[in-house]
Structure 1
Amino acid sequence: MTPEEQRLEELREMVAEVLEVEPEELTDTGDFVEDYEADSLRAIEILARIDKAYKVQIPQAELPELRNLKAVHAALLRHADRRG
């Protein structure tokens, strides 16, 4: 498993916990709102956990774009590159 794949799986577990689903149920492209009934507070919680775990701040202005795991992972990589 590559470091990027490892990070995606860590992220899957983190997001699944916030959304109160099993990691296996959380697909890369499943819509947080439509498929997992997430609300804005859960989205903010996901950002807070990413900040704490990875020391990467994703602006809340990007929340509307972060609708699935793939988008969150891409944002994490993008903002991690900026800090380093």
Structure 2
Amino acid sequence: MTSVTIIEERKNTIKNIVADILEIELEEMTETSRFQEDHNADSLRAIEILASLEKEFQIEIPQSELVKMNNLSGVYEVVKQNAGWDK
């Protein structure tokens, strides 16, 4: 598997988790659509997203990282950093 395929797979997994928790269709969400402003997410949903990502990827994400997790792009960066992925 190429690194591009692995990255896309990880991003798709994250997108599916987030869409499921926010109860929205995948097509409604872009890399930069904001969870709170564009998808009416509240802080409870943010914590649910964080917990689901920790479980899925077997990592720990400090709650202080929640401020960065306001869209898919931010979530991927936080997960990548905490999982130790180089890409």
- TM-score per shorter chain, which class? over 0.9
Distance across 2 between alignment mates of 1:78 and 1:62: 10
Structure 2 unaligned blocks of 5 or more: none
Instruction: Give per-residue Cα distances to partners, 1:14-35, cap 9 Å, x unaligned.
Output: 0000001011211110001000
Task: Say whether 1:68 aligns with 2:71.
Answer: yes
Give the equivalent residue in structure 1 for 2:40.
37
1:7 to 10, 14, 32: 10
Structure 1 unaligned blocks of 5 or more: none
* Matching residue's letter, 2:14: L
Identity across matched positions, percent: 44
2:19 to 13, 16, 21: 16
Distance across 1 between alignment mates of 2:81 and 2:67: 16
Q: How many residues align?
A: 82
